[in-house]
Amino acid sequence: MRFAHTSITVADLERSLEFYTKVLGLEFERRRAIPENHAEIAFVRDPTSGARVELTYWEGKGRVEPGEQLDHLAFEVPDLDAFLATARARGVRVAKEPYRLAGGSGRIAFVLDPDEVWIELLERREPGG
pLDDT tens readout for residues 46-69: 998 899 999 999 998 878 877 788
Tell me whether residue 18 is one of the annotated catalytic residues: no
Burial class (CB in 10 A: 0-12, 13-18, 19+), 74: buried
Question: H or E segment at 15?
Answer: helix 13-18
* Domain range annotation of the chain: 2-123
pTM (2 d.p.): 0.76
Within a 10 A sphere around the Cβ of 123, how many other Cβ atoms? 18
Pick the closest to residue 110 from 100, 96, 99 (CA basis). Answer: 96
- In three-state secondary structure terms, 77 is strand
Is the pLDDT at 127 greater than 70? The verdict is no
- In three-state secondary structure terms, 115 is coil
How high is the pLDDT of residue 125?
A: 63
Q: 4 to each of 34, 90, 128, how far by Cα in Å?
A: 19, 23, 21
Catalytic residue among 97, 120, 123, 126: 120
Cα 39 from chain centroid (whole Å): 12
Name all contacts of 41-48 with Cβ < 8 Å and 24+ positions apart.
41/7, 42/13, 42/16, 42/17, 43/5, 44/17, 44/20
Is the pLDDT at 34 greater than 60? The verdict is yes
* Mean pLDDT of all residues in 103-110: 87
Domain 2-123 has CATH 3.40.190.10: no
